[in-house]
Amino acid sequence: MPHGTDSLLLQMFTIFVWAKVFGELFERLHLPAVLGEILAGVVLGPYATRFVLPGDTIYSIAEVGAVFLLFTVGLETSPSDLIKVGRLSLRVAVAGIVLPFLMGFLFLKWHSEPTHEAVFVAAAMVATSVGITARVLRDMNVQKSRTAQIILGAAVFDDILGMLLLGVLVSTVTTGGVQWLHLGLVTFEAVGFAVFMIFVAPRVVDRLEPGIQRMQTQDAPLVLALALCLGLSVAATRIGMAAIIGAFFAGLAFADYSPRWNLEPRAQAINQFLSPFFFFTMGSRLDLSVFSRSVVLVALALSALAVVSKIVGCGLPLYREGWRSMLQVGVGMTPRGEVALIVALIGLQMNMISQRAYALVIVMTAVTTLLPAPFLRMLFAPTIAAGAPSEVSAEVQVTGHLR
């Protein structure tokens, strides 16, 4: 084979192995594996040891990896479960998005950052990644408690709202400057897309099912799901949104069929292969030289703000249920993850944010991901004493998220 492929395979091997080695080490220290994979990229990448300098093809593979990552997140987000978890979860999700966005934006504006940069960083502060919380709750066997169910439901709404916000953002930025009419149109477009994918698309899949069963192609449901994932990613970019938004909604359309067609473990297998390239290159883009003393301080302040605004925002709608429930839900919703990273990455690629702002988001993601677990264990300890049922439902579908 030509030299190009050889060196591509060598890069893929090196990145895959190091990402997984760092991930394994992090898991053994009871830290999230993704942070290990990102750190591998930081340590071995062009801004530190320069041991691995990812080429263009690796970056392309990483972005396809991001698309599949969000596809899998969508696949774990069952629209029919949404209707069950109800309005309280929706209120938790909305308040938990509005408050971090506003506080992040105002903090950065007050810190004299340009508006577009403040908007992107604030948007990255929005989306909860509930994988770690789901795992802690499962380990403690409290996933069926009332607050756990609220968290898992809110996280699902949160994903969708985060995607909508990102869609509006990218679309607005692409046209340059905020025009209110355009903003309105884009919001309408994004909401329409979401509503269609949540309420109409699953029914279309429902109607198509007999036809899919009759298809002769091997693994026809998986093939169709992959085709829709690629197709909606392209469609999303065509209407000016990010590709991952299409991928997410493609996953959503198949979510209710995922168990019957055994889609999730197979989508996860593709993910296991591709996502290390995404997380590694996320790390490799982090320019360590931006970390002056003042940037570290801003990063820590922003991280604190991300934690506090999420706890307060998500806790408030539960004011009637006492401080423990408020804290359980607030702390449970604190971790950010892949969506935050992707928002920052898109901002970086669109030249909307600087290397410095990119670094802020990485630190914020790391802090919000690392902090909550021990507090969550403390907060849920009394729930265990009260005895929680052991049935597993929505939780199983969320676990794969961010490990």
- DSSP secondary structure of 25-41: HHHHTTS-HHHHHHHHH
Q: How long a stretch of residues is the chain?
A: 403
Burial of 386 (0-12, 13-18, 19+ CB in 10 A): exposed
- From the list 141, 268, 354, 355, which residue makes contact with a copy of itself (rule: CB under 8 A)? 268
83 vs 223 by CB, closer to a copy of itself:
223
205 vs 331 by CB, closer to a copy of itself:
205
Q: Is 204 in the site for a copy of itself (CB under 8 A)?
A: no
**Partner residues linked to 128 by β-bridges:** 336
In the three-class reduction of DSSP (H, G, I as helix; E, B as strand; rest coil), residue 128 is classed as strand
Cβ atoms within 10 A of the Cβ of 112, count? 7
183 vs 235 by CB, closer to a copy of itself:
235
Q: Is 141 in the site for a copy of itself (CB under 8 A)?
A: no
Q: Is 84 in the site for a copy of itself (CB under 8 A)?
A: no
The answer to whether the beta carbons of residues 284 and 47 sit under 8 Å apart is: yes
Amino acid at 226: L
Alpha carbon distances (Å) from 330 to 123, 230, 351, 378, 401 = 18, 35, 33, 14, 19
Tell which residue, 271, 377, 366, has the closest CA to residue 26: 366
The answer to whether the beta carbons of residues 372 and 334 sit under 8 Å apart is: yes
Helices within 285-371 (DSSP H only) = 293-315, 322-332, 338-349, 355-370
Q: Is 33 in the site for a copy of itself (CB under 8 A)?
A: yes
Q: Is 176 in the site for a copy of itself (CB under 8 A)?
A: no
Q: How far is the CB of 383 from a copy of itself (least distance, A)?
A: 26
Per CB under 8 A, contacts with a copy of itself among 56-75 are 56-57, 60-61, 63-64, 67
Q: Is 226 in the site for a copy of itself (CB under 8 A)?
A: yes
**Partner residues linked to 336 by β-bridges:** 128
86 vs 259 by CB, closer to a copy of itself:
259
Amino acid at 163: M
Q: Is 209 in the site for a copy of itself (CB under 8 A)?
A: no
Q: Is 131 in the site for a copy of itself (CB under 8 A)?
A: no
103 vs 165 by CB, closer to a copy of itself:
165
Q: Is 355 in the site for a copy of itself (CB under 8 A)?
A: no
- From the list 178, 223, 297, 378, which residue makes contact with a copy of itself (rule: CB under 8 A)? 223
- From the list 27, 259, 323, 374, which residue makes contact with a copy of itself (rule: CB under 8 A)? 27
Q: Is 53 in the site for a copy of itself (CB under 8 A)?
A: no
Q: How far is the CB of 192 from a copy of itself (least distance, A)?
A: 21
Buried/exposed code over 341-353 (b: 16+ C-beta within 10 A; e: otherwise): bbbbbbbbeeebb
Interatomic CA distance for residues 167 and 39, integer angstroms: 28
Q: Is 40 in the site for a copy of itself (CB under 8 A)?
A: no
Q: How far is the CB of 57 from a copy of itself (least distance, A)?
A: 5
- DSSP secondary structure of 228-251: HHHHHHHHHHHTTS-HHHHHHHHH
Q: How far is the CB of 401 from a copy of itself (least distance, A)?
A: 11
- From the list 272, 292, 294, 393, which residue makes contact with a copy of itself (rule: CB under 8 A)? 272
Give the DSSP letter of residue 29.
T
Q: Is 393 in the site for a copy of itself (CB under 8 A)?
A: no
Binding site for a copy of itself (CB under 8 A): 1-2, 4-6, 8-10, 12-13, 16-17, 20, 23-24, 27-28, 33, 56-57, 60-61, 63-64, 67, 215-219, 222-223, 226-227, 230-231, 233-234, 237, 242-243, 265-270, 272-273, 346, 349-350, 400, 403
